[in-house]
Homo-oligomer: A and B are copies of this chain.
Amino acid sequence: MAGVLDGLRVVEGSAFVAVPLAGMTLAQMGADVIRFDRIGGGLDSGRWPVTADGHSLFWAGLNKGKRSFAVNLSDPRGQELVAELICDTASGCYLTNLGQRAPLSYDALAARRADVIVVSLSGTRAGGPAVDYTVNPSMGFPMATGPEGSSDPVAHVLPAWDCIAGQMVVNGLLAAERHRLRTGAGQLVELSLKDVAGAMLGNLGIIGEVAVNGVDRPKYGNALYGAYGQDFMTADGRRVMVIGLTARQWKGLVKATGTAGEMTALAERLGVDLGDEGARFTHRHAISEVLRPWFAARRLADFAADFDAAGLTWSEFRSFAQALSEDPDLGPDNPMFEVIEQPGIGAYPVPASPLAFSASGRPGPAPAPVLGQHTEAILADVLRLPSAEIGRLMDAGVVAGPARG
């Protein structure tokens, strides 16, 4: 199946995580996504992790299923070709984090095609520089992460703001394209990485916690905030996370660990109702004192099957390699993954979209292109240039095909 967005063409001028992820998300739903890069590669062409001979696993991961157009962006003819691609009848959709500069600014593109849609992601709303690694500290999360009582900030490893912003770029494009389908009008859609984070701070109630409650949330270690959830070490040195967020989860956890009597005694001693989620959070240390010896006395295999059978919400802490080798959801058992051959890198498990559409299907994962792999085809099939003209552009270094290895 071709994918739910079959027939949509999008041009992407980008680097790093958010906008490449947005383009890839669209490509994995069936859109024809053309990423252009300067000849030799953009800012993220060598981004780590890289293979022993320098091929970027990061780039391969975030550019799956796109077509690659390599062009000299310092040459006005190169810029002109990109503007033509964006404004082509079959596209008119442009995603970028490269800023708004003519001839690839919204204004310049709209002068060429009035109904063009441009989604532009910046670092800050004022257009200043910001990356996930700087946005996150400025928002407060690292100061609330890590062991209770510590004052050292702990940065996250997942570039979460980039991932969220990338999905919002997709939202913005699809919402604007829906508007265009219905009204004929295009537009500029703008967002900043920092605003994505600032809005989420409000959405999650953290701004209210400061502004209304006057509370500056401290570090709570690995505890679930606001109800019960905690990590424990098992007798065989494994570490598990167990959840008692809802009443059902809490009752299930107490039952599966056979601690009902102790929990009742604890509640009586404290004079609280542990059926109340807030009470479970306030008294989480006392609850954990009951549960810790239970886990410490058992190996993971002693209770894992029982926990699953009881429908508990729990998991094990694993390293990346352990996760890959032990979790069937990350292996061939999961139809989202396929082992495919990535040119220059080799064969390894690659994910398709997490979204499965019952009528439109889920295209299997496709490799990332080699830089410039589709330059010639795009000039021919999108811009309909004759082959002699394409040859002249190649010879003049305005565009480039794939590097000869």
Q: Which residue of B lies closest to A248 (CB)?
A: B43
On whether the beta carbons of A21 and B159 are closer than 8 Å, the reply is no
Closest chain-B Cβ to A15's Cβ sits at a distance in Å of: 9
Cα A163 to Cα B137 with chains together (Å)? 18
Q: Which residues of B contact A189 (CB under 8 A)?
A: 355-358
On whether the beta carbons of A153 and B213 are closer than 8 Å, the reply is no
Cα A139 to Cα B174 with chains together (Å)? 30
Cα A164 to Cα B323 with chains together (Å)? 20
Question: SS class of chain A's interface: helix, strand, loop or mixed?
Answer: mixed
On whether the beta carbons of A208 and B48 are closer than 8 Å, the reply is no
On whether the beta carbons of A194 and B329 are closer than 8 Å, the reply is yes
On whether the beta carbons of B178 and A178 are closer than 8 Å, the reply is yes
On whether the beta carbons of A153 and B313 are closer than 8 Å, the reply is no
Closest chain-B Cβ to A24's Cβ sits at a distance in Å of: 7
| A83 sits at the interface (CB 8 A) | no
Interface string of A320-346 (1 = CB under 8 A from B): 111110010110001011000010011
Interface string of A138-174 (1 = CB under 8 A from B): 1111111111000011111111100111011011101
| A125 sits at the interface (CB 8 A) | yes
> Given A131-B243, A171-B355, A349-B211, A49 and B226 touching (CB < 8 A)?
yes
| A312 sits at the interface (CB 8 A) | yes
Interface string of A172-186 (1 = CB under 8 A from B): 101111110110011
Cα A200 to Cα B163 with chains together (Å)? 8
On whether the beta carbons of B313 and A134 are closer than 8 Å, the reply is yes
On whether the beta carbons of B281 and A48 are closer than 8 Å, the reply is yes
Selected from B51, B106, B167, B246, the residue in CB contact (under 8 A) with A171 is B167
On whether the beta carbons of A358 and B187 are closer than 8 Å, the reply is yes
On whether the beta carbons of A355 and B168 are closer than 8 Å, the reply is yes
| A216 sits at the interface (CB 8 A) | yes
Cα A49 to Cα B58 with chains together (Å)? 37
A213-254 contacts to B (CB < 8 Å): 213, 215-217, 220-222, 224-227, 229, 231, 239, 241, 243, 245-246, 249
Q: Which residues of B contact A168 (CB under 8 A)?
A: 25, 167, 354-355
Q: Which residues of B contact A143 (CB under 8 A)?
A: 317-320
Q: Which residues of B contact A4 (CB under 8 A)?
A: 175-176, 178-179
What 8 pairs across the A-B complex have the smallest Cβ distances? A48-B226, A167-B167, A57-B208, A57-B205, A160-B160, A216-B321, A187-B359, A140-B320
